[in-house]
Amino acid sequence: MVKPKTEEEIELLRENAILVSKTLAEVGKRVAPGVTTAELNRVAETFIRDNGAIPSFLGYEGFPAAICASVNDVVVHGFPSDYVLKEGDIFTADIGTFYKGYNGDSAYTFPVGEVDPETRKLLDVTKASLYKGIEAAVAGNRTGDIGHAVQSYAESFGFSIVRELEGHGLGKEMHEAPGVPNYGKPGSGARLTDGMVICIEPMINAGSRGVYLARNGWAVHTSDHKNAAHFELTVVVRKGKAEQLSTFDFIEKEQL
């Protein structure tokens, strides 16, 4: 059994979640053609540190940056670099914080300038599938109910689910039980209990579901080199309806 978080712990996780959400928005303000992913990494690290927190990804099992910066066919765990974003790219920022002994974790895939209609559809469907998963994150359900909600929605649009990677619990450690796959059968997997804090994070491919690991041992690419999108939010399992801790509101206010 996964031990639920106390309300005091949830409040500390909420502080991290809001900081991560604001950091993503700061990064999003600067996502544009001509900007390097290394510069976006610097923006995120500066903002996190200026708010009294630590970028939890930096140094995690040797990861060399404050954010995962994944472009186009990189599903997750891309390294920030001198790559210059160009019109029509998509850029995923996955960001973690460590503050007051607890972690924050959230991700968002940004369009770079104008993207083609199929790419726009991939982003919209992936984000919507996340909210479908959140709807299933209620006490008494199981992780398979979340995975089924994500999978059935995304696949109905002809997209595919990455199966080698999944969401996770969150607390004092960045990755805690239970694992939260983005596919599954209703009624399968770990039981969800009130107060459990989890990260739900659909990783959806435009083409086939196949992926491979880059030579650097981190970046995960789509096997067919078609685009992939990734959205992640932190929620508390509750009775009746999940409670979101992180939010995309700060990002989407900037986009208006």
**What is the per-residue pLDDT across 53-63, written as a single tens digit (0 to 9) for each?**
999 999 999 99
Give the chain's length: 256
Q: Which of 63, 61, 53, 156 is nearest to 98 (CA)?
A: 53
Q: Is residue 110 part of a domain?
A: yes
**What is the per-residue pLDDT across 140-194, written as a single tens digit (0 to 9) for each?**
999 999 999 999 999 999 999 999 999 999 999 999 999 999 999 999 999 999 9
Q: Is residue 256 part of a domain?
A: no
Backbone angles phi, psi at 138, to 5 degrees: -120, 150
Give mean pLDDT, residues 24-39. Answer: 98
CA distance 164 to 211: 8
CA distance 190 to 192: 6
**How do 228-230 and 203-205 pair as beta strands?**
antiparallel
Name beta bridge partners: 164: none
Q: Is residue 2 part of a domain?
A: no
Q: Which of 61, 64, 42, 51 is nearest to 20 (CA)?
A: 51
Q: What is the CATH number of the domain that holds 170?
A: 3.90.230.10
pLDDT at 231: 98
pLDDT-derived band at 67 (thresholds 50, 70, 90) equals very high
pLDDT at 218: 98
Q: pTM here?
A: 0.98
Range of the domain at 181: 7-250
* C-alpha count within 13 angstroms, C-beta hemisphere, residue 220: 19
Instruction: With a cut of 70, say whether residue 201 has pLDDT above it.
Output: yes
Percent of the chain whose predicted confidence (pLDDT) is above 70: 99
Q: Is residue 31 part of a domain?
A: yes
Burial 198-225 (b: 16+ CB within 10 A, else e): bbbbbbbbbbebebeeeeeebbbbbeee
Q: Which of 111, 104, 96, 107 is nearest to 32 (CA)?
A: 111
pLDDT-derived band at 256 (thresholds 50, 70, 90) equals low
Q: Is residue 107 part of a domain?
A: yes
Instruction: With a cut of 70, say whether residue 216 has pLDDT above it.
Output: yes
Q: Is residue 255 part of a domain?
A: no
- Return all residues near 59 (Cβ < 8 A) that are at least 6 apart: none
Instruction: With a cut of 90, say whether residue 103 has pLDDT above it.
Output: yes
Q: Is residue 148 part of a domain?
A: yes
Q: Is residue 116 part of a domain?
A: yes
Number of domains in the chain: 1
Instruction: With a cut of 80, say whether residue 1 has pLDDT above it.
Output: no
Instruction: With a cut of 70, say whether residue 77 has pLDDT above it.
Output: yes
pLDDT at 254: 75
